[in-house]
């Protein structure tokens, strides 16, 4: 596909593109017509603007023929490293069993824990590579990966190490951030004692994870079938002690006040949020906590309660959109499908969906060097075979991606 002279050029220059910069100072997607992007040898953007104003460059420019150019997409909430499959539970749910029912009967997350514990680290990385490639083929350049299918010290560390090994296994063509989700579910050996298990998460697992620098943030599943507000607060306090940022699976199946608790802790994001009330949305707006919308889980669990998008808009809560890729509630490896669902099921606009996988997804990860086109940001780009931003969202089953650029390096869509 690419015979372009730019491939592998040390200081790449892209020109004649319709830039969607995501610059917050510009309206909407921050469009610049007939724009150019320059990068340096380290893979950082050095200049963005109208091509006519671009500084002279010794490098040949790649003319993109007016195509739409966005930052590389960011999938800010995945559980990409897991063993086994839950296809049988999918069938059980079709036959009428509920997600909660299956979890309480020892299936659900715990069934994936059994399969993940028996897999080796190398096997887990191998499984995750295939899944990551599916995301990358649609223009994704950064993903977040959570643990939470180990639920004991060694298995959680194994999952996080497998995630940390992903970029090298993908020839350094993917940016991966990791999140420690030891408080995802109660393992069978805890014999129902949630408080004692939270002790283990805070006193044994988290210090070990922090010592080996295996996680960029800490997450928790606050829900009737998982952990209470008090237990979540203990996990967040321990995270603070280790200088780790927090995120929360909040208000997915019921309203336990997760959004407000996340806001109180200055969480980067609260995720799911189907049952969040207006007070929760307001608290998130005030704290700058991002609402991560996960329509895949809503769809697969045949939920009817939708997240309060109108409240998020009213209280200026930044919204991100993500796959929640996992074997149970959201076996989806297409960020564009998640965007499409966010629009069709929850009423997001095309602009909100695109901001949700760029600028706002970066914010949900506490990152300022991705998700926008600006000097100093990483030169991770997605180039689309279209002029129209709507093309990213409306057509499923084929990808409008023309090319992906990672750290200034141009790739075909099948890298």
Contact residues: ligand NIG, CB under 6 A: 79, 108-109, 112, 221, 249, 252, 297, 324, 326-330
Partner from Fe ion, ligand NIG, none binding residue 18, C-beta < 5-8 Å depending on class = none
Count CB neighbours of 168 within 10 A.
Answer: 11
Residue with tokens 């669902």: 341
Q: Least separation, in Å, of the C-beta of 181 and ligand NIG?
A: 8
| Residues 411, 392: Cα–Cα separation, whole Å | 19
The interface region with Fe ion, picked from 133-141, 238-246, 320-328, 333-341 by CB under 5 A, is 320-328
For ligand NIG, the closer of residues 23 and 303 by Cβ is: 303
Structure tokens at 27: 């309206």
| Phi/psi-derived region of residue 66, left when phi > 0, alpha when psi is between -120 and 50, beta in every other case | left
Q: Least separation, in Å, of the C-beta of 296 and ligand NIG?
A: 8
Alpha helices in 251-398 (DSSP H): 258-264, 278-287, 295-300, 309-314, 335-346, 350-355, 359-364, 391-394
Structure tokens at 398: 């084929």
Decide: is 89 part of the binding site for Fe ion (CB under 5 A).
no
For ligand NIG, the closer of residues 32 and 132 by Cβ is: 132
For Fe ion, the closer of residues 152 and 324 by Cβ is: 324
Closest CA to 178 of 218, 211, 119: 218
364 Cβ contact list (under 8 Å, min separation 6): 76, 77, 247, 268, 269, 290, 292, 318, 320, 322
Taking CB positions, which residue lies at the least distance from Fe ion? 324
For Fe ion, the closer of residues 160 and 373 by Cβ is: 160
Q: Considering only CA atoms, give the Rg of the chain.
A: 21
According to CB under 5 A, which one of 156, 274, 303, 324 is a site residue for Fe ion?
A: 324
Taking CB positions, which residue lies at the least distance from ligand NIG? 328
Q: Least separation, in Å, of the C-beta of 185 and ligand NIG?
A: 8
For ligand NIG, the closer of residues 109 and 259 by Cβ is: 109
For ligand NIG, the closer of residues 160 and 409 by Cβ is: 160
| Phi/psi-derived region of residue 364, left when phi > 0, alpha when psi is between -120 and 50, beta in every other case | alpha
Count CB neighbours of 94 within 10 A.
Answer: 9
Q: Least separation, in Å, of the C-beta of 148 and ligand NIG?
A: 7
Q: Least separation, in Å, of the C-beta of 236 and ligand NIG?
A: 17
Q: Least separation, in Å, of the C-beta of 255 and Fe ion?
A: 18
List of residues contacting Fe ion (CB under 5 A): 324
């Amino acid at each position: 596909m690419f015979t372009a002279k730019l491939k592998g050029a040390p200081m790449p220059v892209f020109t004649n593109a319709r830039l969607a910069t995501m610059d917050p100072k510009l309206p909407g997607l921050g469009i610049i017509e007939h724009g150019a992007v320059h990068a340096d040898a380290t893979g950082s953007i050095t200049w963005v603007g109208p091509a006519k104003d671009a500084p002279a460059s010794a490098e040949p420019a790649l003319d993109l023929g007016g195509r739409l150019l966005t930052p590389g997409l960011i999938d800010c909430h995945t559980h990409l490293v897991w063993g086994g499959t839950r296809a049988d539970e999918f069938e059980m749910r079709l036959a009428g069993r509920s997600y909660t029912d299956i979890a309480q009967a020892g299936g659900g997350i715990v069934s994936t824990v059994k399969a993940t514990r028996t897999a080796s680290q190398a096997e887990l990385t191998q499984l995750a590579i295939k899944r990551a490639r599916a995301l990358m083929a649609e223009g994704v350049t950064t993903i977040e990966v959570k643990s939470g299918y180990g639920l004991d010290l060694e298995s959680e560390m194994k999952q996080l190490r497998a995630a940390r090994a992903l970029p090298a296994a993908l020839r350094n063509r993917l940016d991966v951030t990791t999140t420690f989700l030891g408080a995802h579910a109660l393992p069978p050996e805890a014999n129902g004692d949630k408080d004692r298990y939270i002790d283990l998460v805070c006193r044994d697992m988290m210090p070990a994870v922090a010592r080996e620098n295996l996680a960029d943030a800490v997450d928790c599943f606050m829900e009737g079938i998982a952990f209470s507000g008090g237990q979540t607060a203990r996990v967040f306090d321990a995270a603070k002690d280790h200088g780790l940022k927090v995120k929360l699976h909040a208000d997915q199946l019921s309203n336990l006040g997760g959004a407000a608790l996340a806001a109180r802790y200055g969480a980067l994001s609260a995720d799911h949020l189907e049952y969040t009330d207006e007070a929760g949305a307001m608290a998130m707006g005030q704290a700058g906590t991002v609402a991560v919308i996960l329509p895949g889980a809503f769809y697969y669990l045949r939920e009817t309660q939708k997240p309060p998008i109108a409240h998020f808009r009213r209280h200026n809560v930044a919204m991100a959109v993500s796959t929640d890729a996992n074997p149970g509630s959201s076996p989806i490896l297409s960020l564009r499908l998640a965007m499409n669902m966010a629009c069709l099921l929850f009423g997001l606009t095309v602009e909100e969906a695109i901001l949700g996988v760029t600028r706002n997804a970066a914010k949900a990860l506490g990152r300022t060097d991705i998700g926008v086109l600006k000097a100093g940001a990483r030169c991770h780009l997605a180039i689309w075979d279209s002029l129209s931003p709507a093309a990213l969202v409306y057509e499923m089953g084929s990808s409008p991606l023309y090319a992906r650029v990672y750290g200034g390096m141009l790739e075909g869509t099948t890298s």
